[in-house]
Structure 1
């Protein structure tokens, strides 16, 4: 049976909080570990110092995390295949006259994206981007949907009717 990604990461790093912070930061930022033992964002090499600052750990935690990942086939398969997600349009949406919907979801979040997209498509609005935070990393994950046009506030009540939606912000 294939062990889930976070189960495997927790199993290896639960006794080492600094190493766990490094692994979480690598996943969060889409950083991969290459065969050369270096960390990359796409094809851009990331220095140990830069990652240590971002993860708020000592540089030695970077080295030891890399070593553990390299010596574990399952972890190496995970971390060597991580890809950066690309540009999230959320912070520049207003400049581009796009709409932004942020939906805080609970732990029962199956089907929320489908329900949201159905409501948006009924209004004839195209979706440019959708991004969901990992519910194993975030206590209250946020689903962010960027739309071709700004969304009317009257849709908030429709979004709030969806099972598992805790909060909705439109801007």
Structure 2
């Protein structure tokens, strides 16, 4: 996917930022040529501000996507992932584990969830940032209860884990 996007927009960094922001936020391109988050229409100005580009970059990105069947199929089928509980976890007595991942990221999610389940703690959510979009992607796991700090050393033993925060 990223090869196709980068190839199509390689001469236009602003368009790449728009495409990345759309994927990051779960924004799709509708048949009417407008950008949506679910059924909520997103203004060109709002997306331009979020992607740090001029509004003209939004319009030109949309045109390129609509003219390319493969890109249109991709961007018209994006669905927002829903609420990430990270920022409200403490308020509702949940735990948060953030694991920064290096270039070796294979198997980190399964190894991490295995360690958590061995402690008898349920997992409410898991969210992994795209390794192609982020320089230092973070795996965020929301647990049914706060996790003890003694697990930090266990997480750090997993190949590819560079940093762990528990709160």
TM-score category of the 2 structures, normalised to the smaller one: over 0.9
Pick from 79, 87, 94: which aligns with 1:91? Answer: 87
- The answer for the alignment partner of 2:136 in structure 1 is 140
Give the CA RMSD over aligned residues. Answer: 0.6
CA distance in 1, matches of 2:145, 2:111: 19
Q: What TM-score, normalized to structure 1? A: 0.96
Q: Which residue of 2 aligns with 1:23?
A: 19
Residue aligned with 2:135, SS:
coil
- Give the TM-score normalised by structure 2: 0.99
Deviation at 1:89, TM superposition (A): 0.3
Secondary structure (helix, strand or coil) at the match of 1:146 reads: strand
Q: Which sections of structure 1, spanning at least 5 residues, go unmatched?
A: none
Q: Tell me how far 1:53 sits from its aligned partner.
A: 1.1
Rounded Cα–Cα distance in structure 2 between residues aligned with 1:90 and 1:14: 34
Measure the CA separation in 2 of the matches of 1:152 and 1:53.
39
Distance 1:108 1:68 in 2: 34
In structure 2, C-alpha distance between the alignment counterparts of 1:133 and 1:143, rounded to whole Å: 6
3-state SS in 1 of match to 2:36: strand
Task: Give the one of 125, 128, 131 matched to 2:121.
Answer: 125
What does 1:94-105 correspond to in 2, within 5 Å? Answer: 94-105=90-101
Aligned: 1:13 with 2:6: no
The CA distance in 1 between the partners of 2:23 and 2:105, in whole Å, is: 21
Number of aligned residue pairs: give it: 167
Q: Deviations over 1:64-94 (max 9, x none)?
A: 0000000001100110011111100000000
Equivalent residues in 2 for 1:46-57, closer than 5 Å: 46-57=42-53
Q: What residue in structure 2 maps to residue 109 of structure 1?
A: 105
Kindly report structure 1 stretches of 4+ aligned residues shifted beyond 2 Å. Answer: none
Shift of 1:56: 1.2
What is the Cα deviation at residue 13 of structure 1? 0.8
Which residue number corresponds to residue 157 of structure 1? 153
Matches within 5 A, 1:43-82: 43-82=39-78
Instruction: Give the whole-Å Cα distance in 2 for the aligned partners of 1:46 and 1:105.
Output: 31
State the alpha-carbon separation in 1 of the partners of residues 54 and 153 from structure 2. Answer: 46
**Which residue is 1:42 aligned to?**
38
